[in-house]
Structure 1
């Protein structure tokens, strides 16, 4: 054959190899969600691609048969086609005993470079730009090859499956999407500009609900305002005036003996009808929702939905009241900065310092200060708990802890309780 005929055959082989390369990377990189979307839009070939992804063994067998056969033919024909040409060109600069070997080496390098560039590297990079579109374009020719080369496919597949079975390796692809996968996709969407920063934060908060317990968003025990069964009308009025909440827990003498809750609208109705204010009247007390302190925020939200109540009393393992949480508390965690311009418990003084309330949930501190983790953080839930855990004592003013480039210093103590911390960035010495 002439040099021109050899070149035509090499070009044809490169084209065939490029087809197999694009097909391989397109099927591997195609996302099932996107393929299902194409199918719902009327692209029937997407269904065939999905079927191949479920059982990719035969597909990859065809690809490897095609790539290896083309590579072998390309090497044989390339050596025969270009070696004489390179020998003639080398004669202008060298005509020694190694001339034939040099010509053969240059021929191999030239053909290999052509296949790497035009049959492998460039087609795969193009396929990665739009894998789903490429996959639906090549799926029917691939299915035709599967029929034509079925005996070879069966032979190689059987051998491969036998080896996998010996080593207990699964032969089918399993796509299990985890929350981490979704968060990773959201991060990529935010970086690409598909998701706005606020949308990204909202979705991140939703997934965070399953990791945070109700104690991270509750009103703690020492901040609860409650009534006792024998509360006087004057005391009830005073508490409502000073703390205008919608609902109040009602207890039998002590906070840990919760008997119900009262809606302030019912008390208002008593005032409007000029009746004496009393918590013992029929219909005033309502049954409260009681939940354990081990529930996640997502589970608490499900409890609110099931009970039709928008607040709950939280008990620990000893049946002691540790706090109270409302539906608003849960939703404020979800909405985050979308509804609050700044963290209520974290006040930024300047670029390098913050005032933080002791009862601030650890997750909020981690988010604001961009801290990845605290040491042994499963042992405490608030920044005050972190200080006590690290100091190994009841803190006093000026006590401090250094962690991840920040200095956490106690600045206010209220009856042995850490009321406020000053957090400052520690400047690194050069």
Structure 2
């Protein structure tokens, strides 16, 4: 029957509108841009439609509404009457036949509309939104142009209602936040698209982009440096004692640095029986402010002749040094050979609590425990976080509660916080075992 064919075509047309709506809404614009640059047919049309989502949604709604009205009219009037005549011919009373005929047709059309016209197309759109969007975009562009007057009227009506309720009718600016990236990477790990180690490295890159050089440098108190005024023998002792291949050299003070000496150049000259001129051996190293971004310093080191930067504060005082290794460790973590006897920065205990090193970066701690740290903060480590929470220099046993977690100082190295026990606030824990003071490096 012609009426039946028309109803089926209308249901399929409804499915096309549902497919197009969900595909274009769910499609990721960065992926569509990449497909457009590759020359994928329909990608640019899909981008154009997503640039004006209000107009596109109005067009889709017009199409779905018209299809629903036409399908109801044909199914009720034509198919319902046809089925009623068949039932009446089977001996049913005319009134009952009309009621059953109309009801069964409406039920059947509703079922097909839901399954064929909604569920199946939408599931298909979700499986590959970008590909489907590229396929349907040219057709929907034509439909959108034809329905422009009606779509404009609906769009303007929607804007008016928004304004009546005190909301802006403008679409929010598209912006991908760092949290969006983190969630996407976490989802990629859960789905098996990337490995756990890849996720940690990506997270490290994001953290590095937020850190200043002060958060990754080796602080002044732990820098091995050579005093040019102390003589060659004293320089030899420093070079032999230090595990580093390059050492800053100063003119009587760490605040009067002359440059950087390679340990092997100094030791090689001594093995040859020479008395090297320490000032002549010093190579110029880039100086950077302690407020510089870590990624900017990475670019500086990439171009520098000496892979070490000298960090100074706003008053010109020497604060520490930073090397490519410091920046790499912020991404991939420290290598075992570099750790030596240093204790790990985070250890989970049997009771579920965590023992953290005071020098552990605060942003890593926040990521581990789901804390929110201020974007502008005067500290970079767990020790600095605890000092800020307490508001004073602590003693062993002092504790602070922040964002549902309890931070207890369990070990001090002089005035420096060496170990912190972290557990949910109110948890009953076993006492932390004593730790050797000075077991790990400090971070400013």
Q: Shorter-chain-normalised TM-score: which range?
A: 0.7 to 0.9
In structure 2, the residue matched to 1:73 is 70
1:249 and 1:370 mapped to 2: Cα distance? 38
TM-score by length of 2: 0.78
Asked if structure 2 preserves the Cα contact closer than 8 Å seen for 1:361 and 1:382, the reply is yes
In structure 1, the residue matched to 2:15 is 18
Q: Deviations over 1:65-116 (max 9, x none)?
A: 32222111122223324655579989x9x99x99988986776565444423
SS of the aligned residue for 2:408 comes to: strand
In structure 2, the residue matched to 1:128 is 126
1:121 and 1:86 mapped to 2: Cα distance? 30
Corresponding residue to 1:295 among 292, 296, 299? 292
Q: Give the aligned length.
A: 416
Asked if structure 2 preserves the Cα contact closer than 8 Å seen for 1:311 and 1:327, the reply is yes
Once the two structures are TM-superposed, the CA of residue 341 in structure 1 deviates from its matched residue by 11
Once the two structures are TM-superposed, the CA of residue 212 in structure 1 deviates from its matched residue by 1.6
Once the two structures are TM-superposed, the CA of residue 347 in structure 1 deviates from its matched residue by 5.2
In structure 2, the residue matched to 1:304 is 301
Asked if structure 1 preserves the Cα contact closer than 8 Å seen for 2:84 and 2:97, the reply is no
Once the two structures are TM-superposed, the CA of residue 195 in structure 1 deviates from its matched residue by 0.9
In structure 2, the residue matched to 1:418 is 417
Asked if structure 2 preserves the Cα contact closer than 8 Å seen for 1:250 and 1:261, the reply is yes
Corresponding residue to 2:117 among 112, 119, 123? 119
Distance 1:139 1:389, change over 3 A: closer
Distance 1:184 1:341, change over 3 A: farther
Once the two structures are TM-superposed, the CA of residue 183 in structure 1 deviates from its matched residue by 2.8
2:338 and 2:8 mapped to 1: Cα distance? 63
In structure 1, the residue matched to 2:221 is 222
In structure 2, the residue matched to 1:365 is 365
In structure 1, the residue matched to 2:323 is 326
Distance 1:16 1:374, change over 3 A: closer
Q: Deviations over 1:190-227 (max 9, x none)?
A: 12111111112112211221112222222122212222
1:407 and 1:154 mapped to 2: Cα distance? 60
2:173 and 2:409 mapped to 1: Cα distance? 51
Once the two structures are TM-superposed, the CA of residue 28 in structure 1 deviates from its matched residue by 2.6
In structure 1, the residue matched to 2:149 is 155
In structure 2, the residue matched to 1:274 is 273
Distance 1:411 1:63, change over 3 A: closer
Asked if structure 2 preserves the Cα contact closer than 8 Å seen for 1:6 and 1:81, the reply is yes
Asked if structure 1 preserves the Cα contact closer than 8 Å seen for 2:217 and 2:326, the reply is yes
Asked if structure 1 preserves the Cα contact closer than 8 Å seen for 2:207 and 2:363, the reply is no
Asked if structure 1 preserves the Cα contact closer than 8 Å seen for 2:36 and 2:44, the reply is yes
Once the two structures are TM-superposed, the CA of residue 230 in structure 1 deviates from its matched residue by 0.4
Asked if structure 1 preserves the Cα contact closer than 8 Å seen for 2:361 and 2:380, the reply is yes
In structure 1, the residue matched to 2:395 is 396
Asked if structure 2 preserves the Cα contact closer than 8 Å seen for 1:261 and 1:287, the reply is yes
Once the two structures are TM-superposed, the CA of residue 138 in structure 1 deviates from its matched residue by 2.9
Name stretches of at least 5 consecutive residues in structure 2 with no aligned partner: 429-444
SS of the aligned residue for 1:230 comes to: helix
1:428 and 1:366 mapped to 2: Cα distance? 19
Asked if structure 1 preserves the Cα contact closer than 8 Å seen for 2:76 and 2:106, the reply is yes
Asked if structure 2 preserves the Cα contact closer than 8 Å seen for 1:221 and 1:324, the reply is yes
In structure 2, the residue matched to 1:348 is 347
Pairing 1:195–2:189 present: no
In structure 2, the residue matched to 1:64 is 61
Asked if structure 2 preserves the Cα contact closer than 8 Å seen for 1:14 and 1:115, the reply is yes
In structure 1, the residue matched to 2:232 is 233
Distance 1:177 1:395, change over 3 A: closer
SS of the aligned residue for 2:147 comes to: helix
Distance 1:70 1:324, change over 3 A: same
Once the two structures are TM-superposed, the CA of residue 377 in structure 1 deviates from its matched residue by 8.0
Asked if structure 2 preserves the Cα contact closer than 8 Å seen for 1:87 and 1:102, the reply is no
Asked if structure 2 preserves the Cα contact closer than 8 Å seen for 1:291 and 1:314, the reply is yes
